[in-house]
Amino acid sequence: MDQVDYDTVDTQVRALADSLGEADEATVAAEVSRLKALAEKIADEDDRRMAVIRVEKLPELISGPQPGTSPQYWRAASLVTQVINDKGTPAEQIEHAERAVSEIGTLARSAPEREFRTILRMNSTLKRLIERRRRENPDLGS
């Protein structure tokens, strides 16, 4: 299996949060167990801890509020996807992520109030990516 990282686990949590809306408790519990086992394979200790916490929130995510519907929400989600899928150099990835963080902040401020925090939270994934790339490439600085 490919190397497991936080984003791999987070992507699966997000997908399941969307797809398990009508699932029974046993199904949700089985998915939480499966994802915890996957998260335990993450090499970076901090990312592993954060992934386990994220997995434990799956039941809450399933029953929680629906994703945003505003153009700002969808643009922010698109930016996150673009950055995560960026195949550039670490320096290019950091630069792309930093630009996206800034734009997502602007989008959050212009979004409907009910979506402000949801959109702003999308930056946490990008900030973790920036931190990870800098840890992996100390010559890139802070």
Q: Domain check: are 103 and 130 in the same one?
A: yes
- Which phi-psi region, left, alpha or beta, contains residue 141 (left: φ > 0; alpha: ψ -120 to 50)? left
| 90 plus 113 within the same structural domain | yes
- Does the residue 1 lie in any domain? no
Beta carbons within 10 angstroms of residue 95's beta carbon = 15
Domain boundary among 39, 63, 87: 63
Query: Which ranges in the chain belong to alpha helices (H)?
Result: 6-19, 25-39, 45-56, 58-63, 71-84, 90-110, 116-136
- The CA angle 6-42-82, to the nearest 5 degrees, is 25
Mean pLDDT by 10 residues, the chain (142 residues): 83 90 88 95 93 91 76 94 91 95 96 89 91 88 64
pLDDT value, residue 114: 85
pTM, rounded to two decimals: 0.55
Say whether both 78 and 55 belong to one domain: no
Same domain, 135 and 86: yes
Using one digit for the tens of pLDDT, what is the confidence trace for 28-46? Answer: 999 999 999 999 999 999 9
Distances (CA, A) of 122 to 46, 97, 111: 19, 11, 14
Note down the domain range covering 38. Answer: 6-63
Residues 10 and 52 in one domain: yes
- Residues contacting residue 82 through CB under 8 Å, at least 6 positions apart: 96, 100
* Residues 80 and 58 grouped into a single domain: no
Number of domains making up the chain: 2
Q: Are residues 57 and 112 in the same domain?
A: no
